[in-house]
Amino acid sequence: MAVDEIYYTGVRSVARRLTDGLEPEDMTVQVMSDASPTKWHLAHTTWFFEQFILRQFVDGYKPYDDIFLYLFNSYYNRVGTQFPRAQRGLITRPTTAEVFAYREHVDRYMCELLHHEPISKVVQLTEIGLHHEQQHQELILTDLLALLAINPMYPEYRPAKPVKPSSAPAMGWSAITAGEYKVGCSDEHFAYDNERPSHRLVMNRDCLLATRPVTVGEYLEFMTDAGYARPELWLSEGWNMVQERKLVAPRYWEKEGDLWRVFTLSGRRPIDEHEPVCHVSYFEADAYARWAGYRLPTEFEWEIKARDTPIEGNFMDSERYHPIPAPADSSSDCFAALFGDVWEWTQSSYQAYPGFRSTDDALGEYNGKFMCNQYVLRGGSCLTSRLHMRSTYRNFWPAYTRFQMTGIRLAKDG
């Protein structure tokens, strides 16, 4: 994909479309410290272009507002201090309208810059900036879901689109043969630093990867079998979390009488047993797998299968904003929802690949400094832009995370 003015505008305009129908109130509030206001996301990705491109490569460029450099820096210590993360929702000025004006200003400069055959460093940074923009577009949706879910009026963000009724197909298993493999990104295309260098590894034994994610119906069986009440199924830290937070179901589920309901971006409705289960933590994914007699895959088992699978599925682009049932004809040679629908927890800690080096500039802070106490997720979700995804892509979240669109794919030894 050529990184030009048109591509830039296309990616950036998605954010605007996502805010259709949102009120300034909706875009201002920070629902919890792990989330950010929509307004902040909109401003922060703009700051990224201003800070790392316009200020470096446009002669005489003056910051739009000096205080924005402080307010909308997320965590880049090398370029300055940051407004406290947990207080992002207390900033009522600039208003939402002013943030949109800031976006327009920066977009105008960026388009001008991209219009005139920019140097390769600019192209490269723009590509990072657009991927960064896409990450935050996904976060706008996950954070909005968490926010609306608090409201006893159950506001609907988008009306639900009709889904073709479908029973999930039987679980199939796709084999991986023991042996040496190459993983990570080796080609010329864009990838984050954490996907490189490409390297070899040994799969010590044959194993199999499930052809579809675990469904809501299957997860319900785990719940019915007292899954949340049996410590032997859980990692020690997960068991502590279950007890402290009194967890009994995935996030956004609520029981009324005998009926489980789930809150989605299309409001509240009964759960659908055929959908992939989502909004589970690593701990729940791991406990479910243990209960079912399987395990979670490593990130490399996943990647080995994914690199031969087309990047198709239920992405943000379909504007459903919720996982959908797998088509009934998935089979052992045909993965359902390996991409899209739900991010899939792997049992791999988020660590550096052998020979990994952060770059020495401020962007070196992008990924490396988070390589601690997080788990790798793969495949993207129904809230991810399809163009953002690739088979080597490594997402990462702490094991307790439930507000992301996270689900479960199983594996087992051969």
Q: Give contact residues for a copy of itself (rule: CB under 8 A).
A: 23-26, 28-29, 31, 39, 67, 70-71, 75, 77-78, 83, 87, 89-96, 147-148, 150-153, 155, 180, 197, 199-205, 231-232, 234-239, 282-283, 347-349, 351-352, 354-355, 364-365, 369-373, 399, 413
Question: Would you call 321 exposed, middle or buried from its count of C-beta atoms within 10 A (0-12, 13-18, 19+)?
Answer: buried
CB-nearer residue toward a copy of itself: 155 or 217: 155
Place of tokens 């990705």: 45
Distance in Å from the first CA to the final CA of the chain: 39
CB-nearer residue toward a copy of itself: 123 or 371: 371
Find the shortest distance in angstroms from Cβ 234 to a copy of itself.
7
Find the shortest distance in angstroms from Cβ 368 to a copy of itself.
8
Side-chain-side CA neighbours of residue 30 (13 Å): 16
CB-nearer residue toward a copy of itself: 2 or 202: 202
Find the shortest distance in angstroms from Cβ 91 to a copy of itself.
6
For 406, list phi and psi in degrees, rounded to 5.
-110, 135
Sequence letter at residue 360: D
CB-nearer residue toward a copy of itself: 148 or 324: 148
SS3 60: coil
Sequence letter at residue 211: T
CB-nearer residue toward a copy of itself: 270 or 414: 414
CB-nearer residue toward a copy of itself: 282 or 339: 282
Contact 344, 212 (CB under 8 A): no
Q: Where are the alpha helices (DSSP H) in 151-252?
A: 216-224, 236-244
Distance CA 74, CA 71 (A): 8
Find the shortest distance in angstroms from Cβ 29 to a copy of itself.
6
Distance CA 216, CA 337 (A): 15
Find the shortest distance in angstroms from Cβ 51 to a copy of itself.
16
Find the shortest distance in angstroms from Cβ 357 to a copy of itself.
9
